[in-house]
Structure 1
Amino acid sequence: MKKTRIEILEEKKVKITANRELVLDVFLKHEYALSLADLEDLLPWGDRATLFRTLKTFEQKGVIHQIKDGSNSTKYALCHDSCGSAQHLDIHPHFHCQECDKTICLDKQEIQINSLPKGAQVNEYSLIISGFCSGCIIRLKEY
């Protein structure tokens, strides 16, 4: 059973506001990652600063995670339930469509690091798989 916006915010210990509920609702309705600009387009009433602060709060509390897919804009996607505020535990690859610019989490595949240089510490890592989504392949074949 899917959790409601309120349940997600309460579980992650995020203060509930109307704006935060609306932003979370947008993430729940999209299967792909969203940028700040995407949120501005989808929520035209929201001001950029409030939306940005909401994204940062959600990221700090483990509601969303950040994705840098090489598209010159940081995108965000929902975290799994296991993701906590201290660290994001749902580390997985992402697929980025070079045509439509959508980025999708590949949740079922984890990134495994088997060895690091002696004394090294990982602060962040990601894997971006680039190509064309099925919708764009169909559109490209039509031309």
Structure 2
Amino acid sequence: MNAPDLWSFSLDCYARPGVESACLTLQSHGADVCLLLAGTWLEARRVACTPERLAALRELAGHWQALAIEPLRSTRQRWKEPGLTDPPLEALRTELKRLELAAERLLLGRLQDATADWAAQTDAEPWLEALLGEGYPDQTQLLRTAARQTQPSAG
């Protein structure tokens, strides 16, 4: 069975117990969840992290985050409390959430396309520490465990 595409992998991984909470915690500390999921996917596929690859993916993700995802997320979050008492605003907020998810899906597709020719290696360097640093061992381990559970079984 072929490895899942990045979008399918991300949906499955994110749905694993504890992953959503870990990702939101990391996001609140400045991490890009799409980039983390891409790094987890690459690591699970044994694709080595190099400074050049990391810089390329950070640039790609950073541009799309600033252009599309962050403006949608910021507005959606600003409307959270007022939406509690204003049903039409809450409906618009729900639409923003749908658009934010669509923008994230586009980013994950772009990240997958950018990595299409990166082959697996037996001595692959890890992605998660490169993306997060050493300060998040619990979240890093949780993502790696979820990635192992997300991979199709052989045979």
The structure that is helix-richer by fraction is 2
Q: Report if TM-score (shorter chain) is over 0.5.
A: no
Using CA pairs below 8 Å that are at least 6 residues apart, which structure has the higher relative contact order? 2
- TM-score (ref. length: structure 1): 0.30
